[in-house]
Amino acid sequence: MQLNNQDKTFLGASLATAIIGVALIVIGFVFRFGGGFATFSTYAQQDNDFLELKRLDMIFGLFVAAAGVLVLSFIVATISVVRHNTFLLKVYCAMIALMIVVQLVDGLLAFTYSDQINQLASDDILYESLNKTSKLTRPPIGTLPSDAETQFWANTQNSFGCCGVMSSADWTTAWGGAGSSSDLEALHCYQRHYNDGCEKVIRNRISSDAQYLGAASMGVLVVEIIASFLAGYRAYTLAHPEFDDKL
Given this model, what pLDDT does residue 34 score? 84
Given this model, what pLDDT does residue 222 score? 80
Q: Are 227 and 14 in contact (CB under 8 A)?
A: yes
Q: How far apart are CA 51 and CA 14, in angstroms?
A: 38
- 140 SS3 class: coil
Inform me whether the pLDDT recorded for 113 exceeds 60.
yes
Q: How far apart are CA 3 and CA 9, in angstroms?
A: 10
3 state SS for 27-86? HHHHHHHHHHHHHHHHHHHHCCCCCCHHHHHHHHHHHHHHHHHHHHHHHHHHHHHHHCCH
DSSP H/E element including 98? helix 86-120
Residues 200-232: b if buried by 16+ CB within 10 A, e if exposed: ebbbebbbebbbbbbebbbebeebbebbbebbb
| Residue 145 neighbours by CB distance under 10 Å | 13
Q: Which residue type does 116 have?
A: Q
Given this model, what pLDDT does residue 242 score? 60
Provide mean pLDDT across the span 200-212: 90
Domain ranges of the chain: 5-120+200-231, 123-196
Inform me whether the pLDDT recorded for 22 exceeds 70.
yes
**Whole-prediction pTM:** 0.82
Residue 12 pLDDT grade (very low, low, confident, very high; cuts 50, 70, 90): confident
Q: How far apart are CA 124 and CA 187, in angstroms?
A: 20
Residue 170, judged by CB atoms within 10 A of its CB (0-12, 13-18, 19+), counts as buried
Provide mean pLDDT across the span 138-153: 88
Residue 243 pLDDT grade (very low, low, confident, very high; cuts 50, 70, 90): low
Displacement of CA 132 from its chain's centroid (Å):
30
Q: Which residue type does 235 have?
A: A
Q: How far apart are CA 63 and CA 73, in angstroms?
A: 16
* Higher-scoring residue by pLDDT: 22, 6: 22
HSE-up (13 A, CA, CB side) for residue 79? 10
DSSP sequence for 116-168: HHHHHT-HHHHHHHHHHHHHHSPSSP-SPP-SHHHHHHHHHHHHHT--SSSST
Q: How far apart are CA 192 and CA 244, in angstroms?
A: 69
Given this model, what pLDDT does residue 174 score? 94
Given this model, what pLDDT does residue 198 score? 93
DSSP 191: G
Provide mean pLDDT across the span 81-103: 89
Provide mean pLDDT across the span 87-101: 89
